[in-house]
Structure 1
């Protein structure tokens, strides 16, 4: 069983470089999808993003490059490279690129 996929194991690599940024697009790369957790890498162009939705678990967003806007329960949070925000389970949220940005999303789901 492959727990972490789509990246080389036992090799040092740049996580942000693992998903390409493309003009006018949102690209993603699933790194793990298990019953209790999902790990996904995103590259989001400026003024692109994901409309309001909710997740069944707590979602931790770690910004790797650029600047994004994460709106949680109607409150916009500007996030920059090196910053992290946690979205509570069930909270409506949306994601938008202020500039092109990359983020690592970890969702922890209840048992």
Structure 2
């Protein structure tokens, strides 16, 4: 099951259920790319794991839902409403719904993004 694509693209196959996974090993780094792999995708929300090669980030965006970002390897700079937050492995942050945010390139890192679609807020 190969779900890895660069450019922020992904397939929506979920991870195998009822099987233990080493989260940080689910996804690998790809040169000059952001790789996204779906862990769970439902109409009520999704969980994805992402890897960022050095120099790679995400452009500014907003979401109608709160998003929980958790760093699982390396360090990341997440900018929310023009305020920079430096996170290290094991740390997480809630990105509020409708808040402009982006990920500033800051070396290689991996993170999990969780979005719960409880309704428009």
Normalising by structure 2, we get a TM-score of 0.82
Conservation of the 8 A alpha-carbon contact between 2:77 and 2:105:
yes
Structure with the larger RCO, 1 or 2 (CA within 8 Å, 6+ apart): 1
Are the counterparts in 2 of residues 60 and 87 from structure 1 also a CA contact under 8 Å? Answer: yes
Indicate if the aligned counterparts of 2:15 and 2:40 stay in contact, CA closer than 8 A: no
C-alpha distance in structure 2 between counterparts of 1:110 and 1:6, whole Å: 21
CA RMSD of aligned residues (A): 1.6
Moved more, 39-48 or 10-19: 10-19
SS of the residue corresponding to residue 66 of structure 1 reads strand
Q: What is the TM-score with the length of structure 1 in the denominator?
A: 0.88
- For structure 2, the 5+ residue unaligned runs are 1-12
Question: Number of residue pairs matched?
Answer: 108
Unaligned runs of 5+ in 1: none
> Is contact 1:7-1:18 (8 Å) kept?
no
